[in-house]
């Protein structure tokens, strides 16, 4: 396809997106009571800010 349509490296891009909580390094704890199955609640100390990272790069670098 690249040769057929004359696509250059400058025209090929890859984008990636990820998200994470600021200040959280380890995994969280999940707490549930024996009387409330399937109603789990994730526990994190305090309020946290969510950050989204989007990266884009072309094939030429």
Report d(CA 58, CA 47) in Å as an integer: 37
Count up the domains in the chain and report the number.
Answer: 1
φ, ψ of residue 32 in degrees (nearest 5): -150, 145
Q: Which domain holds residue 47?
A: 2-33+40-58
Residue in 27, 26, 12, 25 with CA at minimum distance from that of residue 59? 12
For 23-37, the pLDDT digits (tens) are 766 665 555 565 656
Q: What are the residues whose beta carbons fall under 8 Å from the beta carbon of 41, sequence distance 6 or more?
A: 30, 31, 32
Strand ranges in the chain using DSSP code E only, listed in sequence order:
13-21, 29-31, 41-43, 50-58
For 1-54, the pLDDT digits (tens) are 999 999 999 999 999 999 887 776 666 555 556 565 666 555 555 667 888 999
């Amino acid at each position: 396809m690249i040769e057929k349509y004359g696509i250059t490296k400058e025209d090929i891009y890859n984008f990636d997106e990820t998200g994470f909580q600021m200040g959280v390094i380890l995994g969280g704890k999940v707490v549930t009571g024996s009387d409330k199955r399937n109603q789990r609640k994730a526990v994190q100390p305090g309020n946290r800010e969510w950050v989204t990272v989007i990266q884009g790069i072309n094939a030429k670098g």
